[in-house]
Structure 1
């Protein structure tokens, strides 16, 4: 079975949570013996065509128009998310190809796109699936898959924020660092959003955007900060916890679902609470207990059962399509 994803960006050049989740889903199909391709519409980096961990990526524009590329690839199913959803839905309708929508949030544009009635909606959390329950479409829940062995390493010494855009907490990082000049902080340039980059806070190191989070970020991090305005899930938190890195988070519904009982929660606007939580977690005894809790929570989030359900759901679409073709020929 050949599955094609139509998206704006892809790994390893854009490594935000949506792209990382999509790649892991496609890898699961490849591991199950299927063929996975990606057509990108906005990506300028990389070769016109390249293979990343078994998934073949084609850059539209460099290789032709989107419909031409999709026609050439002849997908049995078309996966999409974010702004390419309307285009994938239109292609699917005109070509008779089932469309799979990955649902990463509960925002208004997502609600509009669900009216396109995909053949399958894949929700990244239980809370979003409940929030959008009134949309009567075939559905499964697959939490953003994180394979612990791919992320685990020995933690470092930095208090780290991943993605320096304002909504993720860029300005908060610098304010916390100024209040705690004896603590070393780091800010990792993210894959989306305008980055808040300052060089005037001496105890904040800026780490470039990187596809090697294990080597360049987790191996240097002792505590992860997630003071985000909105996180539908918070994959970075789980990736960090694979190394036993404790997480301090703003209690968004997604972070409460992902980090759960193993996290430390503080309201985004209460900086005193964040200072107190950091001071507590960098103490050796407290860190050791929180680190063990993080590892235990990761074990609870073993992605293999949900990935197996994903593969089965996609394979079922091909079977349904073949059955429709038989009926249409009668």
Structure 2
């Protein structure tokens, strides 16, 4: 079965949570013996066609228009998310190809396309599935799949924030560092959003955007900060916890679902609470206990059953588009 994803960007050049989750889903299909392809619409980086961990990526533009590429690939199912959802939906309706929509948030611009009745909806959390229940679409929940083997390392010594845009807490990082000059902080340049970068706070190290998070970030991190305005799930938190790195987070619905009992929560704007939580987790005994809790929570989030359910759900779509002028290939 040939499955194609129509998206704006893709890994390894863009490594935000949506892209890494999609890549893991496509890798699961490839591991099950299916062909996994991606057509990108806005990505300038990379060769016109390249392979990444078993997924073949085609850049629209150098290789032709989006419809031309999709027609040549003749997908049995078309996967999409974010701003490419309307284009994938239109292509699926005109060519008779079942469309799979991945839902990473419950915002209006995401939910509106559920009215078009995709063949399958993949919700990234239970709380977003509940928020979208009134649409009554065929759907499954696949929490962003994270394999501990791909992230686990020996933690370092920094108190780290990943993604320096304001909504992720870029400004809060510097405020905390100024209050705690004896603590070494780090800010990792993110893959999306305008980054808040300051060079005048001596105990904050700026780490460039990287696809090698285990080496460049987790191996240097002692505690992860997530004072986010919004997180539908919080993949970075779980990736960090694969190394036993404790997480302090704002209590967004997504972070409450992902971290559950193992997280330390602080109201985003209560800087005193963040300072107190950081000081507590830097105490050796407290860190050891929180690290053990993080590892236990990661074990609870074994992604394999949900990935198996994903593969089975996509396989059931094969043949739904036949008879509509599209030749689906195995």
Aligned to 1:297: 297
Aligned to 1:328: none
Q: Matches of 2:290 and 2:226 in 1, distance apart?
A: 16
Q: Matches of 2:7 and 2:116 in 1, distance apart?
A: 17
Greater length-normalized contact order (CA 8 Å, ≥ 6 residues apart): 2
Deviation at 1:111, TM superposition (A): 1.5
Aligned to 2:328: none
3-state SS of paired residue (2:135): coil
Q: Matches of 1:141 and 1:159 in 2, distance apart?
A: 32
User: What is the total number of aligned residue pairs between the two structures?
Assistant: 325
3-state SS of paired residue (1:128): helix
Q: Matches of 1:79 and 1:106 in 2, distance apart?
A: 18
1:50 maps to 2:54: no
Q: Matches of 2:5 and 2:210 in 1, distance apart?
A: 23
The answer to whether the Cα contact below 8 Å between 2:98 and 2:119 also exists between their aligned partners in 1 is yes
The answer to whether the Cα contact below 8 Å between 2:21 and 2:144 also exists between their aligned partners in 1 is yes
1:309 maps to 2:309: yes
Q: Matches of 2:218 and 2:319 in 1, distance apart?
A: 42
Deviation at 1:115, TM superposition (A): 1.2
Equivalences for residues 1-330 of structure 1 within 5 A: 1-321=1-321
Encode CA deviations 1:138-192: one digit per residue, 9 max, x unaligned: 1000000000111000000000000000000000000000000000000000010
3-state SS of paired residue (1:187): strand
The answer to whether the Cα contact below 8 Å between 2:96 and 2:324 also exists between their aligned partners in 1 is no
TM-score (norm 2): 0.97
Q: Matches of 1:160 and 1:190 in 2, distance apart?
A: 12
Q: Matches of 1:131 and 1:51 in 2, distance apart?
A: 36
3-state SS of paired residue (1:115): helix
What is the root-mean-square deviation of aligned Cα atoms in Å? 1.1
Q: Matches of 1:116 and 1:211 in 2, distance apart?
A: 35
The answer to whether the Cα contact below 8 Å between 2:98 and 2:320 also exists between their aligned partners in 1 is no
Q: Matches of 1:257 and 1:324 in 2, distance apart?
A: 41
Deviation at 1:321, TM superposition (A): 4.5
The answer to whether the Cα contact below 8 Å between 2:76 and 2:319 also exists between their aligned partners in 1 is no
Deviation at 1:322, TM superposition (A): 5.6
Q: Matches of 2:83 and 2:320 in 1, distance apart?
A: 27
